[in-house]
Structure 1
Protein backbone atom coordinates (compact mmCIF):
# COMPACT_ATOMS: atom_id res chain seq x y z
CA UNK A 1 0.00 0.00 0.00
CA UNK A 2 1.47 3.35 -1.09
CA UNK A 3 2.32 5.74 1.73
CA UNK A 4 1.08 9.35 1.71
CA UNK A 5 4.08 11.67 1.25
CA UNK A 6 4.90 13.88 4.19
CA UNK A 7 3.99 17.59 3.65
CA UNK A 8 6.85 19.71 2.44
CA UNK A 9 8.29 22.58 4.52
CA UNK A 10 6.71 25.12 2.10
CA UNK A 11 3.30 23.47 2.48
CA UNK A 12 3.65 23.44 6.25
CA UNK A 13 4.49 27.12 6.51
CA UNK A 14 2.42 28.36 3.52
CA UNK A 15 -0.61 29.65 5.48
CA UNK A 16 1.54 31.42 8.05
CA UNK A 17 3.64 33.07 5.33
CA UNK A 18 0.52 34.25 3.53
CA UNK A 19 -0.91 35.64 6.76
CA UNK A 20 2.34 37.43 7.49
CA UNK A 21 2.48 38.97 4.00
CA UNK A 22 -1.17 39.99 4.29
CA UNK A 23 -0.45 41.72 7.61
CA UNK A 24 2.54 43.47 6.06
CA UNK A 25 0.45 44.72 3.12
CA UNK A 26 -2.24 46.01 5.50
CA UNK A 27 0.39 47.78 7.57
CA UNK A 28 1.86 49.39 4.45
CA UNK A 29 -1.60 50.44 3.25
CA UNK A 30 -2.39 51.90 6.67
CA UNK A 31 0.86 53.87 6.61
CA UNK A 32 0.10 55.18 3.15
CA UNK A 33 -3.43 56.27 4.07
CA UNK A 34 -2.08 57.89 7.24
CA UNK A 35 0.20 60.10 5.17
CA UNK A 36 -2.67 60.78 2.74
CA UNK A 37 -5.11 61.63 5.53
CA UNK A 38 -4.34 65.40 5.69
CA UNK A 39 -4.84 65.71 1.92
CA UNK A 40 -8.02 63.60 2.01
CA UNK A 41 -9.46 65.71 4.82
CA UNK A 42 -8.55 68.90 2.95
CA UNK A 43 -10.07 67.56 -0.27
CA UNK A 44 -13.33 66.59 1.45
CA UNK A 45 -13.61 69.78 3.49
CA UNK A 46 -12.38 72.31 0.93
CA UNK A 47 -13.21 70.80 -2.47
CA UNK A 48 -15.64 67.88 -2.53
CA UNK A 49 -17.86 69.24 0.26
CA UNK A 50 -18.29 72.74 -1.21
CA UNK A 51 -18.88 71.26 -4.68
CA UNK A 52 -21.68 69.04 -3.43
CA UNK A 53 -23.17 71.94 -1.48
CA UNK A 54 -23.05 74.25 -4.50
CA UNK A 55 -24.69 71.58 -6.65
CA UNK A 56 -27.55 71.39 -4.17
CA UNK A 57 -27.78 75.18 -3.90
CA UNK A 58 -27.98 75.50 -7.69
CA UNK A 59 -31.47 73.96 -7.45
CA UNK A 60 -32.59 76.32 -4.69
CA UNK A 61 -33.43 79.94 -4.03
CA UNK A 62 -30.85 80.95 -1.43
CA UNK A 63 -29.87 84.46 -0.33
CA UNK A 64 -27.49 83.66 2.58
CA UNK A 65 -29.97 84.94 5.17
CA UNK A 66 -32.81 82.45 4.80
CA UNK A 67 -32.95 78.70 4.47
CA UNK A 68 -32.58 77.45 0.86
CA UNK A 69 -35.90 76.82 -0.91
CA UNK A 70 -36.00 74.07 -3.54
CA UNK A 71 -37.01 75.43 -6.95
CA UNK A 72 -35.73 72.69 -9.25
CA UNK A 73 -34.23 73.78 -12.57
CA UNK A 74 -35.56 77.35 -12.40
CA UNK A 75 -32.10 78.86 -11.89
CA UNK A 76 -30.79 77.10 -15.00
CA UNK A 77 -33.76 78.04 -17.18
CA UNK A 78 -33.73 81.65 -15.96
CA UNK A 79 -30.09 82.01 -16.97
CA UNK A 80 -30.90 81.86 -20.66
CA UNK A 81 -33.48 84.60 -20.30
CA UNK A 82 -30.97 86.85 -18.54
CA UNK A 83 -29.49 89.34 -21.02
CA UNK A 84 -26.55 90.17 -18.76
CA UNK A 85 -25.73 86.48 -18.46
CA UNK A 86 -25.78 86.08 -22.25
CA UNK A 87 -23.57 89.14 -22.59
CA UNK A 88 -21.10 87.70 -20.09
CA UNK A 89 -20.93 84.52 -22.15
CA UNK A 90 -20.30 86.54 -25.31
CA UNK A 91 -17.59 88.67 -23.66
CA UNK A 92 -15.85 85.63 -22.20
CA UNK A 93 -15.93 83.66 -25.46
CA UNK A 94 -14.52 86.67 -27.33
CA UNK A 95 -11.70 86.89 -24.82
CA UNK A 96 -10.96 83.15 -25.05
CA UNK A 97 -11.11 82.94 -28.85
CA UNK A 98 -8.87 85.95 -29.51
CA UNK A 99 -6.78 86.19 -26.35
CA UNK A 100 -5.60 82.60 -26.01
CA UNK A 101 -4.20 82.13 -29.55
CA UNK A 102 -2.57 85.57 -29.46
CA UNK A 103 -0.91 84.79 -26.14
CA UNK A 104 0.36 81.41 -27.35
CA UNK A 105 1.63 82.90 -30.62
CA UNK A 106 3.60 85.53 -28.68
CA UNK A 107 4.93 82.89 -26.29
CA UNK A 108 6.09 80.65 -29.15
CA UNK A 109 7.69 83.52 -31.04
CA UNK A 110 9.70 84.67 -28.02
CA UNK A 111 10.62 81.08 -27.15
CA UNK A 112 12.04 80.57 -30.63
CA UNK A 113 14.08 83.77 -30.29
CA UNK A 114 15.43 82.70 -26.91
CA UNK A 115 16.19 79.18 -28.15
CA UNK A 116 19.20 80.43 -30.12
CA UNK A 117 22.48 80.82 -28.25
CA UNK A 118 23.37 84.42 -27.46
CA UNK A 119 24.98 86.47 -24.74
CA UNK A 120 22.77 87.30 -21.77
CA UNK A 121 20.38 84.48 -22.61
CA UNK A 122 19.57 83.79 -18.94
CA UNK A 123 18.78 87.44 -18.31
CA UNK A 124 16.38 87.64 -21.25
CA UNK A 125 14.58 84.48 -20.20
CA UNK A 126 14.12 85.80 -16.69
CA UNK A 127 13.01 89.22 -17.94
CA UNK A 128 10.32 87.74 -20.19
CA UNK A 129 9.11 85.40 -17.45
CA UNK A 130 8.78 88.03 -14.70
CA UNK A 131 5.38 89.40 -15.89
CA UNK A 132 3.86 85.95 -15.38
CA UNK A 133 4.88 86.07 -11.72
CA UNK A 134 3.27 89.43 -11.00
CA UNK A 135 0.81 89.88 -13.87
CA UNK A 136 -2.19 88.37 -12.09
CA UNK A 137 -1.83 90.50 -8.98
CA UNK A 138 -4.21 93.28 -8.00
CA UNK A 139 -1.39 95.84 -8.05
CA UNK A 140 -0.58 95.12 -11.71
CA UNK A 141 -4.26 95.43 -12.65
CA UNK A 142 -4.30 98.85 -10.96
CA UNK A 143 -1.18 99.89 -12.87
CA UNK A 144 -2.67 98.60 -16.12
CA UNK A 145 -5.82 100.61 -15.51
CA UNK A 146 -3.76 103.75 -14.91
CA UNK A 147 -1.69 103.17 -18.05
CA UNK A 148 -4.72 102.83 -20.30
CA UNK A 149 -6.96 105.35 -18.56
CA UNK A 150 -7.74 108.93 -19.59
CA UNK A 151 -4.53 110.90 -20.05
CA UNK A 152 -2.57 107.74 -19.25
CA UNK A 153 0.86 106.99 -20.76
CA UNK A 154 -0.58 104.83 -23.53
CA UNK A 155 -3.09 107.46 -24.63
CA UNK A 156 -0.44 110.20 -24.48
CA UNK A 157 1.90 108.14 -26.62
CA UNK A 158 -0.80 107.47 -29.22
CA UNK A 159 -1.84 111.13 -29.16
CA UNK A 160 1.69 112.04 -30.20
CA UNK A 161 0.92 110.25 -33.49
CA UNK A 162 -2.54 111.78 -33.73
CA UNK A 163 -4.46 108.60 -32.85
CA UNK A 164 -5.40 109.28 -29.23
CA UNK A 165 -8.49 107.41 -28.12
CA UNK A 166 -9.27 109.37 -24.97
CA UNK A 167 -8.50 106.41 -22.71
CA UNK A 168 -9.14 102.73 -23.32
CA UNK A 169 -10.75 102.00 -19.95
CA UNK A 170 -13.83 104.13 -20.66
CA UNK A 171 -14.14 103.11 -24.31
CA UNK A 172 -16.34 100.01 -24.81
CA UNK A 173 -14.65 99.31 -28.14
CA UNK A 174 -11.16 99.25 -26.63
CA UNK A 175 -11.61 97.45 -23.32
CA UNK A 176 -11.43 94.00 -24.91
CA UNK A 177 -8.17 94.76 -26.80
CA UNK A 178 -6.82 96.14 -23.53
CA UNK A 179 -7.71 92.94 -21.66
CA UNK A 180 -6.19 90.80 -24.41
CA UNK A 181 -2.98 92.84 -24.26
CA UNK A 182 -2.86 92.22 -20.53
CA UNK A 183 -3.12 88.45 -20.93
CA UNK A 184 -0.59 88.46 -23.79
CA UNK A 185 1.82 90.38 -21.54
CA UNK A 186 1.71 87.38 -19.18
CA UNK A 187 3.05 84.87 -21.72
CA UNK A 188 5.99 83.80 -19.54
CA UNK A 189 4.64 80.44 -18.35
CA UNK A 190 3.73 79.02 -21.79
CA UNK A 191 6.95 80.52 -23.18
CA UNK A 192 9.05 78.45 -20.75
CA UNK A 193 7.13 75.30 -21.71
CA UNK A 194 7.60 76.06 -25.41
CA UNK A 195 11.30 76.66 -24.82
CA UNK A 196 11.63 73.29 -23.10
CA UNK A 197 9.87 71.66 -26.06
CA UNK A 198 12.14 73.38 -28.58
CA UNK A 199 15.18 71.98 -26.76
CA UNK A 200 13.90 68.48 -27.51
CA UNK A 201 13.67 68.98 -31.28
CA UNK A 202 16.70 67.20 -32.87
CA UNK A 203 19.02 69.62 -34.67
CA UNK A 204 19.61 66.95 -37.32
CA UNK A 205 16.10 67.52 -38.65
CA UNK A 206 16.81 71.18 -39.37
CA UNK A 207 20.18 70.32 -40.92
CA UNK A 208 18.57 67.77 -43.23
CA UNK A 209 15.87 70.28 -44.18
CA UNK A 210 18.51 72.90 -45.02
CA UNK A 211 20.33 70.42 -47.25
CA UNK A 212 17.04 69.91 -49.10
CA UNK A 213 16.76 73.66 -49.58
CA UNK A 214 13.92 74.26 -47.13
CA UNK A 215 13.43 77.84 -45.95
CA UNK A 216 12.56 78.97 -42.43
CA UNK A 217 8.82 78.81 -43.09
CA UNK A 218 9.02 75.27 -44.42
CA UNK A 219 11.13 74.17 -41.45
CA UNK A 220 8.68 75.83 -39.07
CA UNK A 221 5.60 74.17 -40.54
CA UNK A 222 7.16 70.77 -41.30
CA UNK A 223 9.45 70.31 -38.29
CA UNK A 224 8.86 72.77 -35.46
CA UNK A 225 5.06 72.66 -35.30
CA UNK A 226 4.71 68.84 -35.61
CA UNK A 227 7.46 68.23 -33.05
CA UNK A 228 5.92 70.80 -30.68
CA UNK A 229 2.33 69.60 -31.14
CA UNK A 230 2.14 67.86 -27.70
CA UNK A 231 3.44 71.05 -26.04
CA UNK A 232 1.06 73.19 -28.09
CA UNK A 233 -1.81 70.94 -27.05
CA UNK A 234 -0.91 71.24 -23.36
CA UNK A 235 -0.48 75.02 -23.48
CA UNK A 236 -3.66 75.49 -25.52
CA UNK A 237 -5.72 73.43 -23.10
CA UNK A 238 -4.34 75.06 -19.95
CA UNK A 239 -4.53 78.63 -21.29
CA UNK A 240 -8.10 78.08 -22.53
CA UNK A 241 -9.20 76.89 -19.10
CA UNK A 242 -7.35 79.79 -17.49
CA UNK A 243 -8.99 82.30 -19.85
CA UNK A 244 -12.47 81.11 -18.88
CA UNK A 245 -11.62 81.88 -15.25
CA UNK A 246 -10.48 85.50 -15.65
CA UNK A 247 -11.72 87.60 -12.76
CA UNK A 248 -9.25 89.77 -10.83
CA UNK A 249 -8.10 92.03 -13.65
CA UNK A 250 -11.65 92.52 -14.96
CA UNK A 251 -12.91 93.34 -11.46
CA UNK A 252 -10.18 95.91 -10.78
CA UNK A 253 -10.25 97.59 -14.19
CA UNK A 254 -14.05 97.92 -14.23
CA UNK A 255 -14.37 98.77 -10.51
CA UNK A 256 -16.45 95.62 -10.14
CA UNK A 257 -19.18 96.87 -12.47
CA UNK A 258 -18.32 95.07 -15.70
CA UNK A 259 -18.42 98.37 -17.57
CA UNK A 260 -18.33 100.36 -19.67
CA UNK A 261 -21.52 99.13 -21.33
CA UNK A 262 -20.85 95.59 -20.10
CA UNK A 263 -17.68 95.29 -22.19
CA UNK A 264 -15.76 93.74 -19.28
CA UNK A 265 -18.64 91.72 -17.87
CA UNK A 266 -16.81 88.41 -17.88
CA UNK A 267 -18.56 85.24 -16.78
CA UNK A 268 -16.84 84.90 -13.41
CA UNK A 269 -17.34 88.59 -12.68
CA UNK A 270 -21.08 88.32 -13.31
CA UNK A 271 -21.14 85.16 -11.18
CA UNK A 272 -19.50 87.12 -8.36
CA UNK A 273 -21.95 90.03 -8.71
CA UNK A 274 -24.93 87.70 -8.60
CA UNK A 275 -23.64 85.70 -5.65
CA UNK A 276 -22.01 88.34 -3.45
CA UNK A 277 -23.60 91.50 -4.82
CA UNK A 278 -27.24 90.43 -5.12
CA UNK A 279 -26.90 87.51 -2.64
CA UNK A 280 -28.45 85.13 -5.15
CA UNK A 281 -26.23 82.20 -4.24
CA UNK A 282 -28.46 79.61 -5.88
CA UNK A 283 -28.31 81.51 -9.15
CA UNK A 284 -24.53 81.92 -8.84
CA UNK A 285 -24.13 78.21 -8.07
CA UNK A 286 -26.02 77.33 -11.24
CA UNK A 287 -23.68 79.61 -13.20
CA UNK A 288 -20.66 77.92 -11.60
CA UNK A 289 -21.85 74.45 -12.57
CA UNK A 290 -22.61 75.54 -16.12
CA UNK A 291 -19.07 76.88 -16.37
CA UNK A 292 -17.69 73.59 -15.05
CA UNK A 293 -19.73 71.62 -17.57
CA UNK A 294 -18.67 73.92 -20.43
CA UNK A 295 -14.98 73.60 -19.55
CA UNK A 296 -15.40 69.82 -19.26
CA UNK A 297 -16.99 69.62 -22.72
CA UNK A 298 -14.28 71.80 -24.25
CA UNK A 299 -11.57 69.66 -22.62
CA UNK A 300 -13.22 66.52 -23.97
CA UNK A 301 -13.35 68.02 -27.47
CA UNK A 302 -9.66 68.91 -27.24
CA UNK A 303 -8.71 65.35 -26.32
CA UNK A 304 -11.01 63.78 -28.93
CA UNK A 305 -9.61 65.93 -31.74
CA UNK A 306 -5.97 65.74 -30.60
CA UNK A 307 -5.43 62.49 -32.52
CA UNK A 308 -5.75 64.46 -35.76
CA UNK A 309 -2.96 66.94 -35.09
CA UNK A 310 -0.92 65.97 -32.03
CA UNK A 311 2.06 63.77 -32.92
CA UNK A 312 4.07 62.05 -30.22
CA UNK A 313 7.55 60.62 -30.52
CA UNK A 314 7.36 57.12 -32.02
CA UNK A 315 3.98 57.67 -33.66
CA UNK A 316 3.55 56.23 -37.13
CA UNK A 317 1.02 58.90 -38.14
Structure 2
Protein backbone atom coordinates (compact mmCIF):
# COMPACT_ATOMS: atom_id res chain seq x y z
CA UNK A 1 0.00 0.00 0.00
CA UNK A 2 1.33 3.44 -0.89
CA UNK A 3 1.17 6.42 1.46
CA UNK A 4 -2.00 8.50 1.36
CA UNK A 5 -1.52 11.71 -0.64
CA UNK A 6 -1.69 15.19 0.84
CA UNK A 7 -5.09 16.83 0.27
CA UNK A 8 -5.69 20.53 -0.27
CA UNK A 9 -8.34 22.97 -1.46
CA UNK A 10 -8.76 26.44 -2.82
CA UNK A 11 -10.01 28.60 0.04
CA UNK A 12 -12.87 29.80 -2.22
CA UNK A 13 -14.34 26.30 -1.80
CA UNK A 14 -15.58 27.50 1.61
CA UNK A 15 -16.95 30.88 0.53
CA UNK A 16 -20.42 31.68 -0.76
CA UNK A 17 -21.11 32.41 -4.40
CA UNK A 18 -23.03 34.70 -6.70
CA UNK A 19 -24.05 34.37 -10.31
CA UNK A 20 -25.96 36.58 -12.75
CA UNK A 21 -29.25 35.26 -11.41
CA UNK A 22 -28.70 34.99 -7.64
CA UNK A 23 -26.89 38.31 -7.51
CA UNK A 24 -27.41 38.44 -3.75
CA UNK A 25 -25.54 35.17 -3.38
CA UNK A 26 -26.35 31.59 -2.43
CA UNK A 27 -25.84 32.22 1.25
CA UNK A 28 -24.63 34.74 3.77
CA UNK A 29 -21.16 36.15 3.15
CA UNK A 30 -18.33 34.14 4.70
CA UNK A 31 -15.19 36.02 5.74
CA UNK A 32 -11.66 34.81 5.14
CA UNK A 33 -11.02 33.62 8.71
CA UNK A 34 -14.30 31.69 8.74
CA UNK A 35 -13.37 30.13 5.38
CA UNK A 36 -10.12 28.92 6.95
CA UNK A 37 -12.04 27.53 9.93
CA UNK A 38 -14.38 25.68 7.57
CA UNK A 39 -11.39 24.23 5.73
CA UNK A 40 -10.05 23.05 9.06
CA UNK A 41 -13.38 21.41 9.88
CA UNK A 42 -12.95 19.01 6.95
CA UNK A 43 -10.28 17.16 8.90
CA UNK A 44 -8.31 15.72 5.98
CA UNK A 45 -7.07 18.96 4.43
CA UNK A 46 -3.45 19.94 5.00
CA UNK A 47 -3.05 22.95 2.69
CA UNK A 48 -5.09 25.73 1.11
CA UNK A 49 -4.64 28.06 -1.85
CA UNK A 50 -5.35 31.71 -0.91
CA UNK A 51 -6.50 34.52 -3.20
CA UNK A 52 -4.71 37.86 -2.99
CA UNK A 53 -5.73 40.56 -2.17
CA UNK A 54 -7.87 39.07 0.60
CA UNK A 55 -11.31 40.14 -0.63
CA UNK A 56 -13.45 41.85 2.00
CA UNK A 57 -10.86 41.25 4.72
CA UNK A 58 -9.61 44.15 6.83
CA UNK A 59 -7.68 42.19 9.44
CA UNK A 60 -3.97 41.54 9.72
CA UNK A 61 -1.74 38.96 8.12
CA UNK A 62 -0.87 37.71 11.60
CA UNK A 63 -4.56 36.86 12.13
CA UNK A 64 -4.56 34.89 8.89
CA UNK A 65 -1.44 33.02 9.98
CA UNK A 66 -3.03 32.29 13.37
CA UNK A 67 -6.19 30.97 11.70
CA UNK A 68 -4.13 28.64 9.53
CA UNK A 69 -2.13 27.44 12.52
CA UNK A 70 -5.14 26.71 14.75
CA UNK A 71 -6.64 24.64 11.93
CA UNK A 72 -3.38 22.75 11.26
CA UNK A 73 -3.28 24.18 7.74
CA UNK A 74 -0.54 25.67 5.61
CA UNK A 75 -0.80 27.88 2.54
CA UNK A 76 0.41 26.01 -0.51
CA UNK A 77 -0.15 28.88 -2.96
CA UNK A 78 -1.18 32.46 -3.45
CA UNK A 79 -3.44 33.25 -6.42
CA UNK A 80 -3.20 36.95 -7.36
CA UNK A 81 -6.53 38.35 -8.58
CA UNK A 82 -5.48 39.47 -12.06
CA UNK A 83 -8.95 38.73 -13.43
CA UNK A 84 -11.07 41.43 -11.72
CA UNK A 85 -12.66 44.62 -13.06
CA UNK A 86 -9.34 46.46 -13.15
CA UNK A 87 -8.17 44.01 -15.80
CA UNK A 88 -11.22 43.68 -18.06
CA UNK A 89 -8.98 44.05 -21.13
CA UNK A 90 -6.29 41.80 -19.73
CA UNK A 91 -3.57 41.89 -17.12
CA UNK A 92 -0.15 41.28 -18.69
CA UNK A 93 -1.67 41.57 -22.20
CA UNK A 94 -3.65 44.76 -21.53
CA UNK A 95 -3.25 47.38 -24.29
CA UNK A 96 -2.55 50.01 -21.62
CA UNK A 97 1.07 49.85 -20.38
CA UNK A 98 -0.03 51.37 -17.08
CA UNK A 99 -2.46 48.53 -16.45
CA UNK A 100 0.18 45.96 -17.39
CA UNK A 101 2.48 47.59 -14.83
CA UNK A 102 -0.32 47.49 -12.22
CA UNK A 103 -0.87 43.78 -12.88
CA UNK A 104 2.82 42.99 -12.53
CA UNK A 105 3.06 44.96 -9.29
CA UNK A 106 0.12 42.95 -7.93
CA UNK A 107 1.81 39.69 -8.92
CA UNK A 108 5.16 40.74 -7.44
CA UNK A 109 3.41 41.62 -4.15
CA UNK A 110 1.54 38.31 -4.20
CA UNK A 111 4.85 36.53 -4.68
CA UNK A 112 6.40 38.22 -1.66
CA UNK A 113 3.37 37.17 0.38
CA UNK A 114 3.73 33.59 -0.89
CA UNK A 115 7.35 33.56 0.26
CA UNK A 116 6.36 34.95 3.66
CA UNK A 117 3.79 32.18 4.09
CA UNK A 118 6.17 29.45 2.89
CA UNK A 119 4.08 28.59 -0.17
CA UNK A 120 5.18 26.14 -2.83
CA UNK A 121 4.06 28.26 -5.77
CA UNK A 122 2.22 31.31 -7.08
CA UNK A 123 -0.74 30.42 -9.25
CA UNK A 124 -1.46 32.55 -12.32
CA UNK A 125 -4.91 32.32 -13.83
CA UNK A 126 -5.02 34.93 -16.63
CA UNK A 127 -8.78 34.70 -17.18
CA UNK A 128 -9.11 38.18 -18.71
CA UNK A 129 -6.10 37.80 -21.01
CA UNK A 130 -7.45 36.96 -24.45
CA UNK A 131 -10.11 38.21 -26.84
CA UNK A 132 -13.81 37.97 -27.64
CA UNK A 133 -14.25 38.90 -31.31
CA UNK A 134 -12.49 38.28 -34.62
CA UNK A 135 -10.13 41.17 -35.47
CA UNK A 136 -10.29 42.46 -31.87
CA UNK A 137 -6.58 41.97 -31.16
CA UNK A 138 -3.26 41.52 -32.89
CA UNK A 139 -2.53 37.88 -31.99
CA UNK A 140 1.22 38.28 -32.41
CA UNK A 141 1.30 41.23 -30.02
CA UNK A 142 -0.94 39.60 -27.40
CA UNK A 143 1.14 36.42 -27.36
CA UNK A 144 4.40 38.30 -26.98
CA UNK A 145 3.00 40.55 -24.25
CA UNK A 146 1.99 37.40 -22.35
CA UNK A 147 5.45 35.86 -22.67
CA UNK A 148 7.26 39.10 -21.86
CA UNK A 149 5.15 39.71 -18.76
CA UNK A 150 5.67 36.19 -17.47
CA UNK A 151 9.39 36.37 -18.13
CA UNK A 152 9.68 39.63 -16.18
CA UNK A 153 7.75 38.21 -13.22
CA UNK A 154 9.17 34.70 -13.00
CA UNK A 155 12.80 35.66 -13.61
CA UNK A 156 12.63 38.14 -10.71
CA UNK A 157 11.81 35.36 -8.22
CA UNK A 158 14.00 32.31 -8.94
CA UNK A 159 13.43 31.02 -5.41
CA UNK A 160 9.75 30.12 -5.87
CA UNK A 161 7.73 28.31 -8.51
CA UNK A 162 4.98 29.79 -10.66
CA UNK A 163 2.21 27.86 -12.36
CA UNK A 164 -0.11 28.79 -15.22
CA UNK A 165 -3.64 27.46 -14.86
CA UNK A 166 -4.88 27.17 -18.42
CA UNK A 167 -8.52 27.29 -19.47
CA UNK A 168 -10.19 27.45 -22.90
CA UNK A 169 -12.59 30.31 -22.13
CA UNK A 170 -14.47 32.28 -19.45
CA UNK A 171 -14.47 35.08 -18.69
CA UNK A 172 -12.94 35.87 -22.10
CA UNK A 173 -14.38 34.02 -25.08
CA UNK A 174 -10.81 32.95 -25.87
CA UNK A 175 -8.05 32.88 -23.26
CA UNK A 176 -4.42 33.26 -24.33
CA UNK A 177 -3.47 30.00 -22.52
CA UNK A 178 -6.36 27.68 -23.49
CA UNK A 179 -4.86 24.17 -23.41
CA UNK A 180 -1.86 22.13 -22.34
CA UNK A 181 -0.07 22.29 -25.69
CA UNK A 182 -0.15 26.08 -26.14
CA UNK A 183 0.73 26.60 -22.48
CA UNK A 184 3.73 24.30 -22.79
CA UNK A 185 4.75 26.10 -25.97
CA UNK A 186 4.84 29.41 -24.10
CA UNK A 187 6.64 27.95 -21.09
CA UNK A 188 9.29 26.33 -23.26
CA UNK A 189 9.74 29.57 -25.18
CA UNK A 190 10.32 31.44 -21.91
CA UNK A 191 12.71 28.72 -20.77
CA UNK A 192 12.75 29.37 -17.02
CA UNK A 193 12.92 26.31 -14.72
CA UNK A 194 10.51 27.68 -12.10
CA UNK A 195 7.53 28.13 -14.45
CA UNK A 196 5.16 25.21 -14.92
CA UNK A 197 1.54 24.15 -15.28
CA UNK A 198 -1.29 23.70 -12.84
CA UNK A 199 -3.58 21.23 -14.59
CA UNK A 200 -7.20 21.78 -13.62
CA UNK A 201 -9.04 18.54 -14.40
CA UNK A 202 -12.28 20.36 -15.16
CA UNK A 203 -10.61 22.86 -17.49
CA UNK A 204 -9.09 19.96 -19.39
CA UNK A 205 -12.48 18.28 -19.73
CA UNK A 206 -14.10 21.56 -20.76
CA UNK A 207 -11.43 22.05 -23.41
CA UNK A 208 -12.19 18.61 -24.90
CA UNK A 209 -8.83 17.23 -23.82
CA UNK A 210 -8.23 13.80 -22.34
CA UNK A 211 -6.98 14.87 -18.89
CA UNK A 212 -4.68 11.87 -18.51
CA UNK A 213 -3.07 12.65 -21.85
CA UNK A 214 -2.69 16.33 -20.90
CA UNK A 215 -1.04 15.30 -17.63
CA UNK A 216 1.34 12.93 -19.42
CA UNK A 217 2.37 15.64 -21.87
CA UNK A 218 3.06 18.13 -19.07
CA UNK A 219 5.01 15.46 -17.15
CA UNK A 220 7.05 14.54 -20.23
CA UNK A 221 8.21 18.15 -20.39
CA UNK A 222 8.83 18.27 -16.60
CA UNK A 223 6.27 21.03 -16.19
CA UNK A 224 3.41 19.51 -14.18
CA UNK A 225 3.88 21.41 -10.92
CA UNK A 226 0.34 21.15 -9.48
CA UNK A 227 -3.20 19.90 -10.08
CA UNK A 228 -6.75 20.91 -9.18
CA UNK A 229 -9.55 18.35 -9.34
CA UNK A 230 -13.30 18.72 -9.77
CA UNK A 231 -15.83 17.59 -12.40
CA UNK A 232 -18.23 18.97 -14.99
CA UNK A 233 -20.50 17.97 -17.85
CA UNK A 234 -17.88 19.11 -20.42
CA UNK A 235 -20.06 21.98 -21.65
CA UNK A 236 -19.00 24.42 -18.92
CA UNK A 237 -16.57 24.80 -16.04
CA UNK A 238 -19.13 23.60 -13.49
CA UNK A 239 -16.59 22.83 -10.71
CA UNK A 240 -18.71 19.98 -9.38
CA UNK A 241 -17.55 17.54 -6.70
CA UNK A 242 -14.76 15.38 -8.08
CA UNK A 243 -15.91 11.97 -9.35
CA UNK A 244 -19.54 13.04 -9.79
CA UNK A 245 -19.59 12.43 -13.55
CA UNK A 246 -16.29 11.31 -15.08
CA UNK A 247 -15.31 8.55 -12.69
CA UNK A 248 -13.27 6.45 -15.13
CA UNK A 249 -11.45 9.43 -16.64
CA UNK A 250 -10.64 10.70 -13.14
CA UNK A 251 -9.18 7.29 -12.32
CA UNK A 252 -7.15 7.32 -15.54
CA UNK A 253 -5.85 10.79 -14.67
CA UNK A 254 -4.60 9.68 -11.26
CA UNK A 255 -3.24 6.43 -12.70
CA UNK A 256 -1.12 8.54 -15.06
CA UNK A 257 0.20 10.53 -12.11
CA UNK A 258 0.94 7.34 -10.17
CA UNK A 259 2.83 5.57 -12.96
CA UNK A 260 5.01 8.67 -13.40
CA UNK A 261 5.72 8.89 -9.65
CA UNK A 262 4.13 12.33 -9.48
CA UNK A 263 3.75 13.17 -5.78
CA UNK A 264 2.07 16.58 -5.61
CA UNK A 265 -0.96 17.63 -3.59
CA UNK A 266 -4.41 16.32 -4.59
CA UNK A 267 -6.16 19.67 -4.49
CA UNK A 268 -9.89 20.44 -4.67
CA UNK A 269 -11.17 23.26 -6.87
CA UNK A 270 -14.90 22.85 -6.32
CA UNK A 271 -17.71 25.41 -6.15
CA UNK A 272 -20.50 23.95 -4.01
CA UNK A 273 -23.05 26.68 -4.82
CA UNK A 274 -26.00 24.94 -3.15
CA UNK A 275 -24.23 22.28 -1.06
CA UNK A 276 -22.63 22.43 2.36
CA UNK A 277 -19.01 23.31 1.61
CA UNK A 278 -17.50 21.20 4.39
CA UNK A 279 -19.55 18.14 3.45
CA UNK A 280 -18.71 18.60 -0.25
CA UNK A 281 -15.01 18.53 0.61
CA UNK A 282 -15.42 15.50 2.85
CA UNK A 283 -17.28 13.60 0.14
CA UNK A 284 -14.63 14.47 -2.44
CA UNK A 285 -11.86 13.23 -0.17
CA UNK A 286 -13.71 9.99 0.59
CA UNK A 287 -13.89 9.41 -3.14
CA UNK A 288 -10.22 10.27 -3.66
CA UNK A 289 -9.19 7.88 -0.90
CA UNK A 290 -11.17 5.10 -2.60
CA UNK A 291 -9.44 5.99 -5.87
CA UNK A 292 -6.08 5.82 -4.14
CA UNK A 293 -6.91 2.33 -2.88
CA UNK A 294 -8.02 1.27 -6.36
CA UNK A 295 -4.65 2.38 -7.73
CA UNK A 296 -2.95 0.20 -5.13
CA UNK A 297 -4.80 -2.96 -6.22
CA UNK A 298 -4.95 -2.37 -9.98
CA UNK A 299 -3.08 -5.07 -11.93
CA UNK A 300 -0.62 -2.77 -13.68
CA UNK A 301 1.11 -5.57 -15.59
CA UNK A 302 -2.15 -6.83 -17.04
CA UNK A 303 -3.21 -3.27 -17.86
CA UNK A 304 0.09 -2.59 -19.61
CA UNK A 305 -0.37 -5.75 -21.68
CA UNK A 306 -3.89 -4.71 -22.65
CA UNK A 307 -2.67 -1.24 -23.62
CA UNK A 308 0.21 -2.69 -25.65
CA UNK A 309 -2.33 -4.37 -27.91
CA UNK A 310 -4.87 -1.53 -27.68
CA UNK A 311 -7.35 -3.98 -26.14
CA UNK A 312 -10.02 -1.56 -24.85
CA UNK A 313 -12.31 -4.23 -23.42
CA UNK A 314 -9.58 -5.96 -21.42
CA UNK A 315 -8.43 -2.62 -20.03
CA UNK A 316 -11.98 -1.68 -19.08
CA UNK A 317 -12.55 -5.00 -17.27
CA UNK A 318 -9.43 -4.45 -15.15
CA UNK A 319 -10.40 -0.89 -14.33
CA UNK A 320 -14.04 -1.66 -13.56
CA UNK A 321 -13.08 -4.50 -11.23
CA UNK A 322 -10.96 -2.34 -8.93
CA UNK A 323 -13.09 0.79 -9.22
CA UNK A 324 -16.37 -0.88 -8.36
CA UNK A 325 -14.95 -2.82 -5.43
CA UNK A 326 -13.25 0.30 -4.04
CA UNK A 327 -16.38 2.42 -4.46
CA UNK A 328 -18.40 -0.22 -2.60
CA UNK A 329 -16.27 0.42 0.47
CA UNK A 330 -17.19 4.13 0.61
CA UNK A 331 -18.96 4.95 3.86
Rg larger for: 1
Length-normalised TM-score, structure 2? 0.27
Q: In proportion to residue count, which structure has more strand?
A: 2
Q: In proportion to residue count, which structure has more helix?
A: 1
Length-normalised TM-score, structure 1? 0.28
